[in-house]
Structure 1
Amino acid sequence: MKKLSIIALCLLSGSLWAQSKKQKDREAIKSMCGCYEVRFNFAETFSPLPDYEFHDNYSSGALEWVELVEDEKDKISMQHLLIVGNGQIVKHWRQDWIYENTQLYSFMGNSTWQRQVLDKKAVKGQWTQKVFQVDDSPRYEGTATWIHQDGRHYWEASSYSPLPRREFSKRNDYNVMLRVNRHELTGNGWIHEQDNDKILRSAEGDKLLAQEKGWNTYQKVADEKCIAARQWWAKNQLYWKEVRAVWEEVYAENPVLTIATRQNDGLLFEKIFALGDQVMEQDTFNIQEIRAQVKSLISSHKSEGQ
């Protein structure tokens, strides 16, 4: 009887520790919400090719509002909104965090993502970060454990992705990026650190073109500075909720998904944004009609046979 009590106590202690650890993870993730002055900095640091011409460093900045979209036990979703120029709002990337997730999309190249199924034991205690493009199409996904040690709070994982938006329309000398993404909280915000390999992928295999360092800083400022973004999201969030719902259906239906960002009649994200502008000008909001229109746009950019 005494042995059973000890076993029960050990199990309870383990359960409470896991609960406490998960709660720390959730608090760390959600602390990335709010209003920030953001600086984006990238520099190529190395190439194995003796004749490689290094590209200029990239640097830019803006105000950015990070909105908490979903807050569930095993899922946290956050939408980034840039404030640029004279208060113009740009719907930026989205990050979803899923606890002990066993399915994720891996970028294969040629605008194609393939679903991977992970072992439950391998992802125990981990969080998958799923990053989406401005139109909520896939970008990259990675899974790892949040670390809370010696006063530091960080998460780091690697994943393949397409070219970043700052380069995809300017370069064709590589077609896959291998990212090492690190999110670490600071005393006044957080840092998104990146160590990226720029890879030319072909039938012969992967060839490293260059390596790059990314250092994106998010410095917390008063929420009032992002009031324009908050107002924009309040007005537009219903439309984007339906866009996300349609994409979830597309993901569920396609273990392999190929999305062409550009067709003869334009870019996918431009079409989805234009539809959103039309919807916001209407007096009524027909959910089924909006979903059908969004799905039609996405289908027009999917490869045949999927």
Structure 2
Amino acid sequence: MRLPSLVLLLLLIGRGLFAQLTPKAEDIAAIKGQCGCHDVTFLYAETFAPDKTYTFKDRYSAKGTEWVFVDEESGPTSRPNKIVIQHLLVINDSMIVKHWREDWFYQNTSLLKFDQNTTWKRSTLSAGQVKGQWTQKVFEVDDSPRYEGSATWVHVDGRHYWESTADAPLPRREYTKRTDYNVLRRRNHHEILPDGYIHEQDNDKIIRTEVGDQILASEKGLNVYKRTDDKKCQAAKGWWAKNRAYWADVRTVWTEMLTNRDTVAFKGQVKGSVLSRELDELAVVAQQTPYNSAISRQLIRQTIEKFLK
């Protein structure tokens, strides 16, 4: 009998059988090891500031249930070079919020690096620089760019983790509340555990100007994903089945629009509206009529173009 992929991954982690896989297969098993229905805790605390007069902000904590799953794979069937992982938040067992997305690319040489405010710039790495590495490309709830980093998955002493440093915009927990810094330098540590995974962060809040970078404060972040009863994510699975076609088209349009751009810059608002709200409104309309991918992509493109500088 063939074991479900998630059960197989758990057995590999629990019995230390990762070592029997090829290096790339180990990486893929670790990336997919993030998947499942999780109870999640989000914890952040500022830890250091160069300026002794700086007033540390209150600690942040939140909890939720999140379904994390592979939505797309590209490349050889058993050794994909691209893995798309989507996150959906489940609120009160029935309300679903489309959360962030992470795309993993093997030996990727082209990255969009965050500059400051609402601007990203294209960066090209050599094949030698990314040999054996995976790029994690992280996207907002509206599938716009957030941050990208490339690094090697490490499998040693029974541990399986990936670490990368990447500049990013202010996190959602702060960008509507603060204007005293404009870049978050994220040092991300993803580690797979038998009962889920952790996303640990050591971040610097940076003031970036023409004369250089100045650290305002540093913070520690710890997001703990603990696997829970799959039934708690049933509503998310049903929601995605109804909405997947639309959001797959959003991804496709974004990919087409970003591929040949060396610089990407956004307008925060257009006539008092924000991109995420307008794309959500289009999603509602898409549910009310027989879905037409060609028409949907045209409307999605027109909507996104309004917010690009």
TM normalised by structure 2 equals 0.90
What residue identity is the alignment partner of 1:65? W
CA displacement 1:164-197 (0-9 Å, x = unmatched): 0000000000010100011001121000000110
Partner of 2:247: 240
RMSD between superposed Cα atoms in Å: 1.3
87, 101, 104: which is aligned to 1:97? 104
1:261–1:269 contact (8 Å) kept in structure 2: no
CA distance in 1 between partners of 2:60 and 2:268 (Å): 23
Q: Which runs of 5+ in 2 are unaligned?
A: 1-18, 75-79
Kindly state the Cα deviation for residue 85 of structure 1 after the two structures are TM-superposed. 3.3
Secondary structure, aligned partner of 2:298: helix
What residue identity is the alignment partner of 1:58? Y
CA distance in 2 between partners of 1:258 and 1:291 (Å): 21
CA distance in 2 between partners of 1:86 and 1:25 (Å): 32
CA displacement 1:50-88 (0-9 Å, x = unmatched): 110100000001100012111231011110000113521
CA distance in 1 between partners of 2:268 and 2:249 (Å): 20
CA distance in 2 between partners of 1:19 and 1:264 (Å): 53
Say if 2:214 is the partner of 1:214: no
Secondary structure, aligned partner of 2:206: strand
Q: Which runs of 5+ in 1 are unaligned?
A: 1-16
What residue identity is the alignment partner of 2:36? G
> Where does 1:28-107 land on structure 2 (aligned, <5 Å)?
28-72=30-74, 73-85=80-92, 87-107=94-114
CA displacement 1:264-287 (0-9 Å, x = unmatched): 2311101101110111111x1121
295, 300, 304: which is aligned to 2:306? 300
1:45–1:213 contact (8 Å) kept in structure 2: yes
> Where does 1:123-134 land on structure 2 (aligned, <5 Å)?
123-134=130-141
Partner of 2:16: none
Q: Identity over the aligned pairs, expressed in percent? A: 48
Tell me how many residue pairs correspond in the alignment: 286
Partner of 1:27: 29
Kindly state the Cα deviation for residue 18 of structure 1 after the two structures are TM-superposed. 12
Secondary structure, aligned partner of 1:299: helix
CA distance in 2 between partners of 1:290 and 1:261 (Å): 23
Kindly state the Cα deviation for residue 203 of structure 1 after the two structures are TM-superposed. 1.4
Partner of 1:111: 118
Secondary structure, aligned partner of 2:174: helix
What residue identity is the alignment partner of 2:305? S
Secondary structure, aligned partner of 1:266: coil
Partner of 2:146: 139
2:93–2:232 contact (8 Å) kept in structure 1: no
Say if 2:278 is the partner of 1:276: no
CA distance in 1 between partners of 2:225 and 2:251 (Å): 25
278, 284, 291: which is aligned to 2:297? 291
Kindly state the Cα deviation for residue 19 of structure 1 after the two structures are TM-superposed. 7.5
What residue identity is the alignment partner of 1:272? L
What residue identity is the alignment partner of 2:140? Q
What residue identity is the alignment partner of 1:207? Q
Kindly state the Cα deviation for residue 262 of structure 1 after the two structures are TM-superposed. 2.0
CA distance in 2 between partners of 1:225 and 1:65 (Å): 9
131, 151, 155: which is aligned to 2:158? 151
CA distance in 1 between partners of 2:267 and 2:87 (Å): 23
> Where does 1:121-270 land on structure 2 (aligned, <5 Å)?
121-270=128-277
Partner of 1:9: none
TM normalised by structure 1 equals 0.91
CA distance in 2 between partners of 1:258 and 1:86 (Å): 37
CA distance in 1 between partners of 2:170 and 2:258 (Å): 21
CA distance in 2 between partners of 1:120 and 1:85 (Å): 46
Kindly state the Cα deviation for residue 224 of structure 1 after the two structures are TM-superposed. 1.5
Secondary structure, aligned partner of 1:165: coil
CA displacement 1:76-107 (0-9 Å, x = unmatched): 11100001135210000000000000001000
Name the larger-Rg structure: 1
Partner of 2:8: none
